[in-house]
Structure 1
């Protein structure tokens, strides 16, 4: 399990920002706790977060925006009332994509797994992998092209 001390140290700052974002003490406490729980889960899952404070602040703002969007849906709207069961076809498609990623050359596979885990900035990918940003972008382009072919979406594959 991750060490709780860094998360505990973040609590006063997160709560201060949450109070500015929300309408009351209860909402700010809830927002802060949701973000800390999500951070705990990510860290417990082995995620490496370079700047935990900056990441937590961004997560707090994003969580607040998400709650504002959720609050804008009127009660009784079909989206709120209807429960959508998981789609087996979506799960199969995701499985196919993950197997296709596993068949990529190792350098492309590593980048695509980072993208699948949520890392979308070429600059951040370059920093994490030690590659030049242009190299990251070209490898991602080749990987996406191969995936399209492997999954039956396109016929041409750039040469590596």
Structure 2
């Protein structure tokens, strides 16, 4: 695919990509950067794109994947030292653990121990404040499944907190 074909296929998608990026990031500059990264990635793979049926769909999917990859890099630790820091403090006194860090950060640590899908849904809903439709668009999961994952995640967090409080007394 040469430059003129690329422009003809993908530039009409720019506005839709920007709107999607803005919904994901909530920031104009970050959205512009994400769209630019998407076009760069598409350009680098231009020789493989001849068989794509929907340029619009493929570009939106690429944008979402880039966004999620960046979010994972920011949220999830990659070094053993960073993973170690995410562990719940080994303290006999759980009140002391709450004093060591604010409760929100402590809850985030508990969330990080959930299965990946539950973790993702809980972070998007309870931390990021997204509604079910936005989470559905971002994850590709049906709203019913999102509600089930969220319910299970919250139940597990409640159970862990209850056990910690009982053991900490």
**TM value normalised by structure 2:** 0.41
Larger proportion of helix: 2
